[in-house]
Chains A and B, each alone.
Chain A
Amino acid sequence: MATDNAAADGFGEVSRVRGIVFEYLSFGASVFGLVALGVLLVYVAVDAFDLANASPEWLLTYFLTLVVPFLGFCLYSADDPDVTRRAVVALGGGLVAVAALFTAVEALVAPIPRLNWQLAYLFVVAAPVTAYLAYVGSRGRVGGVGFGLLGRLIGGVAIGLAVGTLFLVLDPLVWFLAYTLGILPAVGLYALGRGRSSSRAQTAAAPIGLLGLVAAVFLRDVVPVFPSDLIIYLWTIAVPVAAAGAVLVAGRSGRTAAAVVGGVPLAVATAGGFLAAGAGLPAPTVLLVLVLTGVPTGVYVSRVVDVGEGLVGLGLPLLLAAGVVAGALIVEAWGVPAPDPWLDPSYLTEAPSRTPTEAGLYPAIVGSVIIIAMVAVLSFALGVGTSVFLEEYTPESGPLGTLTRILQVNVANLAAVPSVVYGLLGLGLFANLLGLGIGTAVTAALTLSLLILPITIISAQEAIRSVPDDLRRGSDAMGATRWQTTKNVVLPEAMPGILTGTILALGRAIGETAPLIMIGAATTVFRAPDSLFSRFSAMPMQIYTWAGFPQADFRYGVVAAGVITLLIILVGMNGTAILLRNRAERGS
């Protein structure tokens, strides 16, 4: 009888209340967090670019010359009526909705400071829809080509600037000798060995390279005459990059294309370098930026032309450049008042100042880039080395096994030590005991590397541990030594995981201020560091200092511009690292 009753009630009900409550609470919390962060970023952007003073005409002009063509390109390359319909509905409906909501809030609740409804529309609807369209468009062949090209242009500029920045502190003369005597012969010998499949030439490459490097250090003070900086960079970086591009293309599209891809950017960059020297610009940096943008772009264009699909996409950079020029011309001719952004070229190239309008972030940017580069190299090398040792080389039992376990526990604990303590350690160990100097770039880099080392080690260990044992046994059974197994099988398979951990840790290192204060880094410096041992300031420290200035222009304008710069550099770095990781993942 009981079964009859149950069936009549539809088997009764099982309560899911807790799960549903949890689901919606979590969802609400994430949305709230994202919205709060979004609002903050909108206000920072409004301050940094002085958008509050942008007239509606100015906004409209750039919307028509820049945003609308870009959206058109994305819609064209998406080639999907559904996407078009959704985009148009969102843009049109969003316009009406934002205007109505904004007016209602202003009229009934309170005026919204430093924001007008056109701007709100731009941030709330136009920007997300553009991002969505850009994403959808990039999946089509045409859009993929366009964004690929854009990515290479921007990436080339970023890498060129970063390399140029690093050479502010490295001695170009030693680099010149090291390249000429060590790296070039070693690479040449190696290539020769591969070409003739002679293993002796390949083995000889490493010692000869090392010999050349050592010789370079000794000859630095002996050689009386050096070529100019521009020639050095041309010879040591621009020519090899152009040659590498030409070699890449030669294998696919023949000699003429290779000569064009290698030769044209090299010629343009060389001309640009000499012209820049005449115009008083930093010639080596101009050369590096031009060659590092031109050669990858050339290689990419040649590949696209070979494939013959999505050629229209090559027009995207032209479209955007034309949009900017047209917008500027219209604004000029029409006499529309343009906003005066805090974040402008002079902000990125000038030293800090007491006057808000003249203040710049240049020395701090250079300091941060140098430190990040050193921290990335140091913590990656040390972290991967340590984790390989702990995971692959130490036994699990016996006295050595106990020692390993003690080491493991300590590494895990070190990750929880506050950063000020690391600052103190850096001050005592690197600055005083090793005499690297108080507040120097090298002390800061070593201290920050130490700070993130435990995180790097632990994540690299996890990544190495997750490599299936089957693969190790397979390699061992082939007669591979442990080193060969680690190098050829374990590390390539673990690399995506290792990179993820390193990226997260680096993000933390860039934003740190406490250990920098402890090791005596300057809050403000007026000249960019010119060696690893000169005093430096980092972006977070400079921004923190400005935030304490009494003038409102510093607190609202200059700080906002600094925050945006820091964010862009951080996102750019993480983006590059994530791209690298995805490549490694795809390779496996």
Chain B
Amino acid sequence: MSNTTSDDSLITTEVQADSNDDRAPLADAGTAVAARNLDVYYGDEQAIDDVTMEIPEKRVTALIGPSGCGKSTFLRCINRMNDMIEICRVEGDIEFAGKNVYDDDVDPVALRRKIGMVFQKPNPFPKSIRDNVAYGLKIQGFDGDVDERVEQSLKGAALWDEVKDQLDSSGLELSGGQQQRLCIARAIAPDPEVILMDEPTSALDPVAASKIEDLIDDLAEEYTVIIVTHNMQQAARISDRTAVFLTGGELVEYDDTTKIFEDPEEQRVEDYITGKFG
């Protein structure tokens, strides 16, 4: 899909990881999550302004933009984590699995069991590594072989080889990067359909961050990944689609990553990507 030469690139990064090439063309992917005319307010302040976008399934979609542009807010709307903020008000629809998640008959707790989330700061529970990964299974009353699922998830998060001999030691004893991969293992253990990532590498060193980036690439084979990031090179490296939010919660441009980084429609997006502001 990346047939443009890198001479045209606005930033000197190799766009698109190679491992995605064996998948069907982007245009063929179904829609996992769709927002329609979404507005979000914190009290009187508008955080998201009339956003409409469709997020393809089993792809990596990056949300970028300056601080306070509403990209994290948008992410938290998808699994209704904004419900926890008392002053937050949401208008419009978010469709997931053919259902508006803000319908009255949707139980947000049941919804979150279908959507995994990874946070900016690694937040493993102060429990053993095994209990951390098995947490989602435990609260959902999983009936099968828990140990097998734990092993599977840790392998999926590329952590199994490092921790297989210390499953009973505390998750807090791991390094920052390992903790974040433990959180990813925790998120994929109950086998969700979508994984939301809120700046998952911004608290990590570059080596740990690059491991997570490789991992995200692999995760996209089974899950829809939506990632918020401040790091534009990261967005360019790992994502298939990129959405650019600018101040005021406005979705300025949403397109294939190649297009956004090489030939954006809007002057503002180009200014942001080349570092003229933000």
Interfacial residues, chain A to chain B (CB-CB below 8 A) = 197, 199, 395-397, 468, 470-471, 473-481, 484, 488-489, 492-493, 588
Asked whether A475 lies within 8 Å of B109 as measured between CB atoms, the reply is: no
Asked whether B136 lies within 8 Å of A470 as measured between CB atoms, the reply is: no
Task: Tell me which residues across on chain B come within 8 A of A488, comparing CB atoms.
Answer: 125, 135, 138-139
Instruction: Give CA–CA (A199, B138) in the complex, Å.
Output: 12
In the A-B complex, the 10 residue pairs with the smallest Cβ-Cβ separation, listed nearest first, are: A479-B113, A477-B117, A479-B112, A470-B123, A588-B126, A474-B123, A478-B136, A480-B139, A484-B139, A481-B109
Instruction: Give CA–CA (A199, B111) in the complex, Å.
Output: 24
Asked whether B186 lies within 8 Å of A478 as measured between CB atoms, the reply is: yes
Residues 110-154 (chain B) with a chain A CB within 8 angstroms:
110-114, 116-117, 119, 121, 123-127, 135-136, 138-141, 143
Task: Tell me which residues across on chain A come within 8 A of B116, comparing CB atoms.
Answer: 477-478
Residues 148-183 (chain B) with a chain A CB within 8 angstroms:
170, 183
Query: Which of A397, A471, A477, A588 has the most B CB atoms < 10 Å from its CB?
Result: A477
Instruction: Give CA–CA (A493, B127) in the complex, Å.
Output: 9
Counting CB contacts under 8 A, is B79 at the interface?
A: yes
Counting CB contacts under 8 A, is B29 at the interface?
A: no
Q: Show 25 residue pairs from A and B whose CB-CB distance is below 8 angstroms, ordered by the A residue.
A: A199-B141, A468-B123, A470-B123, A471-B126, A473-B81, A473-B119, A474-B119, A474-B123, A474-B125, A474-B183, A474-B186, A475-B125, A477-B116, A477-B117, A478-B113, A478-B117, A478-B187, A478-B190, A479-B140, A480-B135, A480-B139, A481-B139, A488-B138, A489-B125, A492-B126
Asked whether B81 lies within 8 Å of A476 as measured between CB atoms, the reply is: yes
Task: Tell me which residues across on chain B come within 8 A of A397, comparing CB atoms.
Answer: 86-87
* Partner among B126, B139, B141 whose Cβ is within 8 Å of the Cβ of A478: B139
Instruction: Give CA–CA (A473, B117) in the complex, Å.
Output: 10
- A-B contacts counted at CB < 8 A amount to 73
Beyond A477-B81, A477-B117, A477-B119, 13 additional contacts (C-beta under 8 Å) are: A197-B143, A470-B123, A471-B126, A473-B119, A474-B123, A478-B135, A479-B109, A479-B112, A479-B140, A479-B190, A484-B139, A488-B139, A588-B170
Q: Given A199-B143, A488-B135, A476 and B84 touching (CB < 8 A)?
A: yes
Q: How far is the CB of A168 from chain B (nearest CB, A)?
A: 40
Q: How far is the CB of B176 from chain A (nearest CB, A)?
A: 13
Instruction: Give CA–CA (A169, B87) in the complex, Å.
Output: 54
Task: Tell me which residues across on chain B come within 8 A of A477, comparing CB atoms.
Answer: 79, 81, 112, 116-117, 119, 187
Instruction: Give CA–CA (A477, B190) in the complex, Å.
Output: 12
Asked whether B86 lies within 8 Å of A479 as measured between CB atoms, the reply is: no
Asked whether A480 lies within 8 Å of B109 as measured between CB atoms, the reply is: yes
* Partner among A468, A473, A484, A489 whose Cβ is within 8 Å of the Cβ of B84: A473
Asked whether B119 lies within 8 Å of A478 as measured between CB atoms, the reply is: no
Interfacial residues, chain B to chain A (CB-CB below 8 A) = 79, 81, 84, 86-87, 109-114, 116-117, 119, 121, 123-127, 135-136, 138-141, 143, 170, 183, 186-187, 190
Query: Which of B112, B126, B186 has the most A CB atoms < 10 Å from its CB?
Result: B126
Task: Tell me which residues across on chain A come within 8 A of B141, comparing CB atoms.
Answer: 199
Task: Tell me which residues across on chain A come within 8 A of B183, comparing CB atoms.
Answer: 474
Q: How far is the CB of A486 from chain B (nearest CB, A)?
A: 12
Task: Tell me which residues across on chain A come within 8 A of B110, comparing CB atoms.
Answer: 479
Instruction: Give CA–CA (A475, B119) in the complex, Å.
Output: 11
Task: Tell me which residues across on chain A come within 8 A of B84, comparing CB atoms.
Answer: 473, 476
Task: Tell me which residues across on chain A come within 8 A of B117, comparing CB atoms.
Answer: 477-478
Task: Tell me which residues across on chain B come within 8 A of A395, comparing CB atoms.
Answer: 86
Task: Tell me which residues across on chain A come within 8 A of B81, comparing CB atoms.
Answer: 473, 476-477
Asked whether A479 lies within 8 Å of B119 as measured between CB atoms, the reply is: no
Instruction: Give CA–CA (A492, B124) in the complex, Å.
Output: 14
From B84, which residue of chain A is reached at the shortest CB distance? A476
Q: How far is the CB of B160 from chain A (nearest CB, A)?
A: 20
Instruction: Give CA–CA (A484, B125) in the complex, Å.
Output: 13
From B114, which residue of chain A is reached at the shortest CB distance? A479
Query: Which of B109, B119, B170 has the most A CB atoms < 10 Å from its CB?
Result: B109
From A485, which residue of chain B is reached at the shortest CB distance? B139
Instruction: Give CA–CA (A395, B83) in the complex, Å.
Output: 12
Q: How far is the CB of A472 from chain B (nearest CB, A)?
A: 9
Instruction: Give CA–CA (A282, B276) in the complex, Å.
Output: 88
Asked whether A470 lies within 8 Å of B121 as measured between CB atoms, the reply is: yes
Q: How far is the CB of A190 from chain B (nearest CB, A)?
A: 16
Task: Tell me which residues across on chain A come within 8 A of B138, comparing CB atoms.
Answer: 488
Task: Tell me which residues across on chain A come within 8 A of B136, comparing CB atoms.
Answer: 478-479
Task: Tell me which residues across on chain A come within 8 A of B127, comparing CB atoms.
Answer: 492, 588
Task: Tell me which residues across on chain B come within 8 A of A478, comparing CB atoms.
Answer: 112-113, 116-117, 135-136, 139, 186-187, 190
Instruction: Give CA–CA (A343, B111) in the complex, Å.
Output: 66
Instruction: Give CA–CA (A397, B88) in the complex, Å.
Output: 13
Task: Tell me which residues across on chain B come within 8 A of A396, comparing CB atoms.
Answer: 86
Instruction: Give CA–CA (A481, B117) in the complex, Å.
Output: 16
Asked whether B139 lies within 8 Å of A476 as measured between CB atoms, the reply is: no
Q: How far is the CB of B200 from chain A (nearest CB, A)?
A: 13
Instruction: Give CA–CA (A265, B124) in the complex, Å.
Output: 43
Instruction: Give CA–CA (A401, B52) in the complex, Å.
Output: 35
Asked whether B109 lies within 8 Å of A471 as measured between CB atoms, the reply is: no
Query: Which of A479, A480, A492 has the most B CB atoms < 10 Å from its CB?
Result: A479
Task: Tell me which residues across on chain A come within 8 A of B119, comparing CB atoms.
Answer: 470, 473-474, 477
Task: Tell me which residues across on chain B come within 8 A of A481, comparing CB atoms.
Answer: 109, 139
* Partner among A471, A479, A588 whose Cβ is within 8 Å of the Cβ of B139: A479
Task: Tell me which residues across on chain B come within 8 A of A493, comparing CB atoms.
Answer: 126
Instruction: Give CA–CA (A395, B87) in the complex, Å.
Output: 11
Q: How far is the CB of A473 from chain B (nearest CB, A)?
A: 7
Instruction: Give CA–CA (A480, B125) in the complex, Å.
Output: 13
Task: Tell me which residues across on chain B come within 8 A of A479, comparing CB atoms.
Answer: 109-114, 136, 139-140, 190
Task: Tell me which residues across on chain B come within 8 A of A199, comparing CB atoms.
Answer: 141, 143
Instruction: Give CA–CA (A468, B123) in the complex, Å.
Output: 9
Q: How far is the CB of B58 from chain A (nearest CB, A)?
A: 21
Task: Tell me which residues across on chain A come within 8 A of B113, comparing CB atoms.
Answer: 478-479
From B132, which residue of chain A is reached at the shortest CB distance? A474
Instruction: Give CA–CA (A395, B170) in the complex, Å.
Output: 33
Task: Tell me which residues across on chain A come within 8 A of B121, comparing CB atoms.
Answer: 470
Instruction: Give CA–CA (A336, B6) in the complex, Å.
Output: 102
* Partner among B86, B123, B140, B187 whose Cβ is within 8 Å of the Cβ of A471: B123
Query: Which of A468, A480, A481, A588 has the most B CB atoms < 10 Å from its CB?
Result: A480
Task: Tell me which residues across on chain B come within 8 A of A468, comparing CB atoms.
Answer: 123
Instruction: Give CA–CA (A481, B111) in the complex, Å.
Output: 11
Instruction: Give CA–CA (A168, B172) in the complex, Å.
Output: 46
Task: Tell me which residues across on chain A come within 8 A of B140, comparing CB atoms.
Answer: 479
Task: Tell me which residues across on chain B come within 8 A of A476, comparing CB atoms.
Answer: 81, 84, 112
Instruction: Give CA–CA (A242, B126) in the complex, Å.
Output: 32
Instruction: Give CA–CA (A481, B81) in the complex, Å.
Output: 12
Q: How far is the CB of B223 from chain A (nearest CB, A)?
A: 15
Task: Tell me which residues across on chain A come within 8 A of B190, comparing CB atoms.
Answer: 478-479
Instruction: Give CA–CA (A433, B139) in the complex, Å.
Output: 44
Q: How far is the CB of B188 from chain A (nearest CB, A)?
A: 11
Q: How far is the CB of B193 from chain A (nearest CB, A)?
A: 13
Instruction: Give CA–CA (A493, B86) in the complex, Å.
Output: 25
Q: How far is the CB of B65 from chain A (nearest CB, A)?
A: 22
